[in-house]
Amino acid sequence: MLSPTETALAVLFALSAGVLLLPRLYAALAFLHLYTLHRSALRSYVHSPRSFALVTGASDGIGRALALELAGLGFNLILHGRNGEKLERVRAEVLAHLGQGEGPQAREVRVWVQDAAERDIDWEAVGRMWADLELTVLVNNVGASAIESEPLDRQPLAYVNRSVQLNALFPFNLTHTVLPLLRALPSPTLVLTVGSMAGELPPPHFAAYSASKAFLERFVHALDLDERLVQRSRVRFHYLQTATVMNSSGVIKRTGWDVPTSEDYARGAVQVVGARRRKVFPWMAHGLQAAVLPLLPDWLTEQIIVKAVSDLAKEE
């Protein structure tokens, strides 16, 4: 028989364990629900036949795949990229995917040719281009980084600045320009920003890229708080946290359980829209990786990341 004191301590211990474990249990159940029972809310942002989605970096890879998914859901599109010929090919692919031509009832697919790494963009003029559109979704997808073999100080400063402009300042300025248009609509609107685990677990020689992605995550966090709790607007935000995705640039050349194709990733991104959290993982395996790595000692996590980047460099 336990004494009253021992019984009280046992109950206190059980309650304390429950308090500590319940948040983890809830997080695990929410994680499973997201990839099994959750229904995408992306189609709810199509408010009329004139609803547009703007996708940056849409000439290939994740951007192209997301554009095709959005078109299939009923959006008109603005395709952004720096290569006009590639964008026109994607435009033709979208229209063929929809099974339509250029008639008066055809879905509208516009092209915006703009180098995202260019510093002197006339953002006021950009905003005027879409002032009369029902723009309901912005997808900040554009971004890139090569596998670097040199530390930051040995990378040309112009190259480093270009990386920051491309990966951080372009989506920052574009969101600043588009946000008033999104907020002005009477129905809910959405901003999706494609992130990178490099912003949390930086690989070697990725200082500019990793800092840019960490900046984007905090930027989305701050905007979400502003619009939801202070402005009380209908603009919603998701930061699409991302690990390795097979891409058209040839940097990632294989697929696997943890490396989706751009098309699989895009389908996952559509699926997680509407989740009750700002940061979501379109690919389930990326979420599992993000949950497990922080449990490891820092030195081991760093060694895993260094080896992964070294293996990628050998494949080039």
pLDDT at 95 exceeding the cut of 90: yes
Query: What's the whole-model pTM score?
Result: 0.89
Q: What is the pLDDT of residue 29?
A: 80
Q: What is the pLDDT of residue 12?
A: 62
- For domain 45-315, give the fold: Rossmann fold (3.40.50)
For the residues 264-270, what does the mean pLDDT come to? Answer: 96
Ramachandran assignment for 164, one of left (phi > 0), alpha (psi -120 to 50 degrees), beta (any other) = alpha
What does the alpha-carbon distance between residue 262 and residue 259 come to, in Å, rounded to a whole number? 9
pLDDT at 249 exceeding the cut of 60: no
pLDDT at 251 exceeding the cut of 60: no
What does the alpha-carbon distance between residue 143 and residue 140 come to, in Å, rounded to a whole number? 9
Lowest mean pLDDT among 31-40, 181-190, 305-314: 305-314
Q: Which residues are catalytic?
A: 209
Block residue for tokens 């490099």: 198
Tell me the three state secondary structure of residue 78. Answer: strand
Q: What is the pLDDT of residue 104?
A: 42
Block residue for tokens 């490396």: 259
pLDDT at 88 exceeding the cut of 50: yes
Rounded to 5 degrees, what are φ and ψ at 33? -60, -40
CA distances from 55 to 59, 110, 147, 284 (A): 10, 11, 25, 23
Q: What is the pLDDT of residue 19?
A: 60
